[in-house]
Amino acid sequence: MKHKISTDCRLCTDYRACRKGSKDICPWDRERIEAEDMSYRNAIQETLNLGEKLDPRLEKLVSSFTGMWKDEAHSLRMKTAREMTSTSAEIDDPPYNAALYLLTSSYNLFARAIDCFQHDGLHLDRARLCHIWYRDYAIYLAAWNIYHGERQVLTERALKHVTNDTDLAFIVNALIIARLGPAAFDLKR
């Protein structure tokens, strides 16, 4: 929170337009992340339209947050998938990045989704879903919904049904990426 005064929303020329709902996101979010004015907690609150108080499970995510990546292998899988699919139009597209993030979250899901990564873009209907593990299927469905523009991926009711905290973190992180784009990978606790 180094530059709190310079990134105060009320001082922004776009403040009224953002608050009237004419824009989905603040056009200056990337700068807010670089200035360390937007934390992971802020990103969750703004992405899920929550007030100051977070659900206990989301509070646990914030306290255990060490970065957006599960491990180095997750980052490498996403890089590989991006190289396989990226067209110039999609490379900075937030839903595209969010879907790739989810589909590369585990080796098993990545192996099942490998046919989705085509040189002309992402084709989620090509995933091999026969006998898929239910946790991977939940992540796949979240990727599908985010990529196809569904905004209500994680409602309060759905939050109660995602049983694994790791899966919850993946879905929340993907929603943040879908909102903020690749800049979300630079979020700090």
Nearest 5°: the CA angle 29, 32, 36 is 140
Q: Measured between alpha carbons, how far is 86 from 83 in angstroms, rounded to an integer?
A: 6
b/e string for 129-143 if b means 16 or more Cβ within 10 A?
A: eeebeebbebbbbbb
Q: Measured between alpha carbons, how far is 105 from 116 in angstroms, rounded to an integer?
A: 15
Q: Measured between alpha carbons, how far is 127 from 142 in angstroms, rounded to an integer?
A: 14
pLDDT at 148 over 70: yes
Q: Measured between alpha carbons, how far is 152 from 145 in angstroms, rounded to an integer?
A: 9
Torsion, Cα of 43, 44, 47, 49 (10° steps) = -120
Q: Tell me: the pLDDT tens digits for 27-52?
A: 777 777 877 778 888 888 888 877 67
Using 50, 70 and 90 to split pLDDT, how confident is the model at 22?
A: very low
**Is the model more confident about 90 or about 116?**
116
User: What is the pTM (predicted TM-score) of this model?
Assistant: 0.82
Confidence at residue 154, expressed as pLDDT on a 0 to 100 scale: 62
What's the average model confidence in pLDDT over 144-173? Answer: 76
Structure tokens at 112: 């099942």
Structure tokens at 160: 């109660």
Confidence at residue 128, expressed as pLDDT on a 0 to 100 scale: 93
**Is the model more confident about 160 or about 120?**
120
In this structure, what DSSP letter does residue 163 have? -
